[in-house]
Chains A and B, each alone.
Chain A
């Protein structure tokens, strides 16, 4: 008997495929050689940031029809400004309607924990298959033993610098200590080539500079319990004093008003000699080599190299990178489909294409990708990103990275502690101010 254009055999085949998918997820889809039976017209809406590497978004857009075909539902990506992602998430959660999957950064799953679906099954399988996730994801994406965010990638950052300019002031190699960097920056600023560093209210370059600076001098926001503020310490004061000297002697003081794109533009325009950034300064300079040139008219990317940040000379070197991923929203009617999509996205052959386009700007969340063949082919300045994600910390240190840590982060308290100090506030007073603000959050 045929009903609505489907005969008995077809019905059994489709329902069998659906059962296989229910039981085995993406493997089931592949085994059944057929898309799962989601209702006709089912759409999966994913909101992500606009990547600093435009080709990465192009690759995801290219993959969308492939995912649609594999999953039997229409997969659509929406790319929005990174600063607008959180407002969109908040509006979606409060109204109970919006995208099925949202891009997550830092420790956002902690903040939105009551509105996110447990994706431990997907995360567990991917972690097992791909060598486990980097340590930073455990405190930031895992809540109460459940993965509420699916780790996807890490954007590492490093100091992009002009090799020839550093050589001109006597540094054949990049000075890798705090003291050495300050001396080099001072010499370069005297030649009208300052270091460019933002201390503005921006989500990327300012906190990824300020937190590691604090940690690497031995400072911490709280003690291990996360309930007692421990900021006012010798290490924190020392880090501020270093920053004050570094800023005055070596930095472009306009950095106080920079967002995450100003340093890229200033670097490419030859206005600054070095800046903490992702690999995008190098990658964009290389991809636009006919437009971005140095003072001799040569492609600028040939004169760019990367150095590890934070520098040596303190008790340790602990960076803060973007720990990125996706979360399935509880209000979504397509939760199962969303999980199937994550499985599809993280399949080696799919993820690999996106991973390679990034050339190290974004590295994988799982460790086995350190061994990928791409690393043998990338340019020398990009090789350092291969293992850069290993030591990453997340804010809230030394306590857990809870919603309170996010509050301190989004109030820019640590960033502003340094910003106030470089504008003339005494180091001890800046620490006192910041500790007072942190106490209202962590101990209030």
Chain B
């Protein structure tokens, strides 16, 4: 190939190195193509999502619509598993329990997490150590911490019962895990203890983005602490709070480990959640189709929660 060199004398031809289609050149061309680059960059993520999220989800739907049991492929049965579950009194208990557990645990985590975040947002000595140690319940594996709580609520050797008895506050043992109502509130308390640091630390991060000048201005206008919280802090913290609440609802609604270790769903199914009951049916009884159907009952509820949250956030962004 020959070309005129820019600025070169007219009529003089300069020989330039002949560009050969090397591997590096091909790679450059591929990288220059936005389409190809997008495929390369998104490819691994799509594969991961496909293998670890889409495939199990589709598989779950297939299982729920089939009569699959352990070792047997099963056949399509339509909505039979869902209908059977809906008419099952243990499922109904587990369904109700899941809502009660999620609702109260989220309320407590939000209230206590907010309170803790406001406290930690102040300046005090050893602030960093306190903030770091607060994360401990969140860091310890759930199974481990639940075992510790199980010991504390043990029907025979409960240290809490012993302490209350020694202090003269009770005369007989409190049935922490042996009474259905007590057991559910114990589970809610442990979930709150475990999840509260997540709320606190996220809300604390949100609080730190609020300019102190806004508070100073509000204070100068005569706003007391409550009004400053209500009219300055809360509106600015609302988007973060919403995100945290949605994450928490999703995690709490599908909780398994805590109940499995603490009560196994007992006494008399009074603490079964959808996840623990699905596991009991799918794994212990080998009824994989029925177990999958029960766990899929969680899906529309969680979808609704996420949809409402996204809608709200979009509206706020538009405002």
Contact = CB atoms under 8 A, between A and B. Distances in A.
A31 interface: no
Interface residues of A, number: 43
Contacts of A437: 88-90
B190 interface: no
Nearest to B90: A411
A102 interface: no
Contact of A440 (B87, B280, B284): B87
A104 to B, nearest CB: 13
Given A252-B155, A423-B268, A407 B70 contact: no
A254 interface: yes
A259 B157 CA distance: 14
B267 A410 contact: no
Interface string B274-301: 0000001111111110000000000000
A444 B263 contact: no
Contacts of B287: 407
B157 A265 contact: yes
Contacts of B267: 199-201, 256-257, 419, 423
A406 interface: yes
A201 B266 contact: yes
A423 B180 contact: yes
Given A114-B72, A253-B175, A266 B156 contact: yes
Contacts of A262: 154-156
A199 B265 CA distance: 12
Interface string A83-110: 0001101100110000000000000000
Nearest to A440: B88
B145 interface: no
Interface of A: 86-87, 89-90, 93-94, 111-115, 199-202, 252-259, 262, 265-266, 269, 271, 403, 406-407, 410-412, 416, 419-420, 423, 433, 436-437, 440, 444
> What 6 A-B pairs have minimum CB-CB distances, sorted nearest first?
A254-B155, A257-B177, A115-B71, A256-B178, A256-B267, A201-B264
Interface of B: 69-72, 84, 87-90, 154-157, 173, 175-180, 183, 263-269, 280-288
26 contacts: A86-B283, A87-B283, A90-B70, A93-B70, A94-B288, A111-B285, A114-B71, A114-B72, A115-B70, A200-B266, A201-B266, A256-B179, A257-B177, A257-B266, A262-B156, A269-B156, A271-B156, A403-B69, A403-B286, A407-B287, A410-B281, A412-B266, A423-B267, A433-B89, A437-B88, A440-B88
